[in-house]
């Protein structure tokens, strides 16, 4: 078990060392707060040479206040977060059953 204190699961943990020791290259990510923890961990994994896959149906986020005092709906934030990751940092699979391995 790895306990994390930051959005990027690699920061302040031995996650990379454990994955390297186990010979893991491919990661499957699922969690709450797609815009924060999933985004940060997927980008961190990509930067460290891992191949992250995000299972979209196993992620979620919440409405966020925007700088102009409006609200960014969770559905828009979720879609934008997944699209950003899929552009370079991760494979985004709609469901776990869509992962080929």
Note the pLDDT tens digit of each residue in 16-44.
999 999 999 999 999 999 999 999 999 99
Nearest by Cα to 15 from 43, 41, 51: 41
- HSE at residue 5, side-chain half, CA atoms within 13 A, is 3
Q: What average pLDDT does the segment 87-91 reach?
A: 98
- Whole-number pLDDT of residue 55: 98
**Residue 101 pLDDT exceeds 70:** no
- Whole-number pLDDT of residue 9: 98
Note the pLDDT tens digit of each residue in 53-86.
999 999 999 999 999 999 999 999 999 999 999 9
Report which DSSP code applies to 20: H
- Is the CB of residue 19 less than 8 Å from the CB of residue 42? no
The domain limits of the chain are 33-96
Length of the chain in residues, anyone?
Answer: 101
- Whole-number pLDDT of residue 100: 80
């Amino acid at each position: 078990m790895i306990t994390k204190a930051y959005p990027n699961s690699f920061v302040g943990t031995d996650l990379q060392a454990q994955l390297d020791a186990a010979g893991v290259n491919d990661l499957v990510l699922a969690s709450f707060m797609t815009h924060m923890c999933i985004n940060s961990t997927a980008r961190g994994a990509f930067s460290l040479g891992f191949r992250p896959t995000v299972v979209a149906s196993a992620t979620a986020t919440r409405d966020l206040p925007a700088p102009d005092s409006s609200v960014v709906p969770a559905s828009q934030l979720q879609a934008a977060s997944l699209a950003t990751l899929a552009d370079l940092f991760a494979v985004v699979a709609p469901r776990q059953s869509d992962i080929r391995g």
